[in-house]
Amino acid sequence: MLYVTTGILDNTVVAGVRPTSTVNLRITNNGLINDTVQIIGFYIDGDTKVQYVSEIITLVPEGALNRNYYANFDAFEFQFMTIQNSMAISVWGKSANNDLNPAHRVLPSELYPIPL
């Protein structure tokens, strides 16, 4: 089982615009059997994490998916839990113009483990 997080990603307004307005998740199943991933998204409201995304998805071997979520918040975080530990997960922040935001790019090796 894999349980990881992006950590809290700061998205403070710069020159009147947030660097990231949407988040694109790219997930692939690199295993030999079906695997399931739970996606949980939070935005930060003051000193409180508020859940706004909750999805459970099963992918076949070599299956892939892209998901886009609203992220026009001061800060946000995504957490992922898989059953078989065969998923490769990356997170890509995008501006209102759909340009990638390098500060909000999180590759599979950059996700933080969450102890169970």
**Per residue of the chain (116 residues), what is the pLDDT tens digit?**
889 999 999 999 989 899 999 999 999 999 999 999 999 999 999 999 999 999 999 999 999 999 999 999 999 999 999 998 899 999 999 999 999 988 899 999 999 999 87
Q: What is the pLDDT of residue 116?
A: 77
Q: What is the pLDDT of residue 109?
A: 93
- For the chain, give the DSSP string: -EEEE---EE---BTTB-S-SEEEEEEEE-SSS-EEEEEEEEEEETTEEEEEEEEEEEE-TT-EEEEEEE--SSEEEEEEEESSS-EEEEEEEE-TTS-EEEEEEE-GGGPEE---
Can you give the CATH number for the domain in which 90 is found?
2.60.290
Domain span at residue 90? 2-113
Q: What is the pLDDT of residue 1?
A: 85
pTM of this structure:
0.93
Tally of structural domains, the chain:
1
